[in-house]
Structure 1
Amino acid sequence: MNTQSQQKRKTFCGFTTLQIAGLTLAACIWFIMTYVASPPVGLSKAGWAATEIMFMMIVIWITDALPSGLCAFLIVILLALTGATDWSSKNTPNTRILSALIGFSAKETWLIAAAFVLGMGLVESGLGRRVTYSIMSIKIFARYV
């Protein structure tokens, strides 16, 4: 899609109609889950806040209302602000931030992030396609393709 047709699709402050609808729906979900609906029996307030954030982010991702990196950063901020990840007995801003960021200290998180970065590098550089074609050109594998 060229830039002229992209500029025609923009409606308000650089957002498309779908993006505006996504942000509006996310705000409605937040309002309803915070002020109208009550958490199910057995679910804590922190669990309800985490569920609320999850539903909001799903709507924002589906409608592509905000960039993915901003959404990921927004999730950490919202989890810290709502206290949804506060596992300690102290409920101070320091412990809220630490508990929201504790998932990034796991080795598995960085392994998955590195896999995504390497995969993107293989696709963007064209190396993945060249390796695939090289494997497909080998006589042993050519009869199965």
Structure 2
Amino acid sequence: MRAAYIALSLFIVSLFVFLPAPEGLSREGFVMFGILLMAIILWITEAIPLAATGLLIMTLQPLLGVADARDVFASFGNKAVFFILASFMLAAAAEKYGLHKRIAVKLLGAFGASPATFIFGVMVVGAFLSFFMQEHAVAAFLLPILMHILLIMKAVPKQSNFGVATMIALTFGTSIGSWGTLLGGARNPLTIGFLDEIGYSLSFFEWMKMSIPIVLVALPVVAFILLRLFPPEVEGIGRAVKELTEERCAGWENRQQRKRRFLSSMFSPSSHGFSYPMPSVWR
């Protein structure tokens, strides 16, 4: 089936290369439209890896005469590209040390009073973390935490309104929150880069002044609509949130105990053949 999708996408590109361009549209624009359709098919069907599709788009443009190779690859010199790379590094550092999970558990615990407030809390937590990390990364690490809560609540897949609302809240929360800062999504710094090229520059805080009010308005409105469409059938989730918090705290304590044992084994006198009492600071 993948071969069929690949053949279809390449056939569409060939079609746009050999067909005459319609009136009012340049030859380059017509061929580029065919490349766009090819990319959409390959991205939706995932017939080839997503990254490979991106490379194919860049390669076909100079090959088919849409744009000069220097112009195509010059886009990588845009400062927005390096900003996006830096935001990915920040997200990777947070994930490596588990900082994102601790923040998420603490924030979700504050919204555990009722199912409605919890669903709104999922949106708030997703939006808040998307201010500092890529929205896709936020959704990826929040998903197993929310799945654990749904398992504790014994939510039936495709039947539980609470489960459906929680998953949709995660999606919309991270998407809305990603509007707030330039770190939330690649489209934000890219937009800044395009505006800068035409002489209209926006700083990080100027972007926030425009977008944060939209985020603050959109979150409660979307949460209200979501709860109307999928009213939660459960009565309380305090036990699930408490259990999740206790598990995370226990895991943190275990890691701290392992570190203390390691330090004790490294610095205790008995480990070096001495028999005098170990100072209380290492006990």
Normalising by the smaller structure, the TM-score range is 0.5 to 0.7
The answer as to 2:20 corresponding to 1:48 is no
Greater CA radius of gyration, 1 or 2? Answer: 2
Q: Is the Cα–Cα contact under 8 Å of residues 26 and 59 in structure 1 kept in the other structure?
A: yes
Counterpart pick for 2:12 among 14, 21, 29: 29
What is the aligned partner in structure 1 of residue 70 from structure 2?
98
How far apart are the structure 2 equivalents of 1:74 and 1:126? 36
Cα deviation 1:8-27 (Å, max 9, x = unaligned): xxxxxxxxx2x122102102
Q: Is the Cα–Cα contact under 8 Å of residues 61 and 68 in structure 1 kept in the other structure?
A: yes
Once superposed, what is the RMSD of the aligned Cα atoms?
2.6
Cα deviation 1:29-52 (Å, max 9, x = unaligned): 1232222x3222121111112111
What is the aligned partner in structure 2 of residue 134 from structure 1?
106
TM-score by length of 2: 0.36
How far apart are the structure 2 equivalents of 1:142 and 1:101? 49
How far apart are the structure 1 equivalents of 2:93 and 2:6? 31
Once the two structures are TM-superposed, the CA of residue 65 in structure 1 deviates from its matched residue by 1.0
How far apart are the structure 1 equivalents of 2:53 and 2:106? 38
Question: Share of identical aligned residues, percent?
Answer: 27
Structure 1 stretches of at least 4 aligned residues deviating more than 6 Å after TM superposition: none
How far apart are the structure 2 equivalents of 1:40 and 1:122? 51
Residues 77 and 124 of structure 1: CA distance in aligned 2, closer, same or farther (over 3 Å): farther
How far apart are the structure 2 equivalents of 1:124 and 1:107? 26
Q: How many residues align?
A: 115
Residues 68 and 127 of structure 1: CA distance in aligned 2, closer, same or farther (over 3 Å): farther
TM-score by length of 1: 0.64
Once the two structures are TM-superposed, the CA of residue 137 in structure 1 deviates from its matched residue by 2.3
How far apart are the structure 1 equivalents of 2:45 and 2:96? 25
How far apart are the structure 1 equivalents of 2:50 and 2:97? 22
Cα deviation 1:41-84 (Å, max 9, x = unaligned): 12111111211111111111111111111111111111121221
How far apart are the structure 1 equivalents of 2:41 and 2:59? 17
How far apart are the structure 2 equivalents of 1:108 and 1:65? 29
**Which segments of 5 or more consecutive residues in structure 1 lack a partner in the other structure?**
1-16, 86-95
Once the two structures are TM-superposed, the CA of residue 126 in structure 1 deviates from its matched residue by 5.7
In the TM superposition, 1:103-118 aligns within 5 A as 103-116=75-88, 118=90
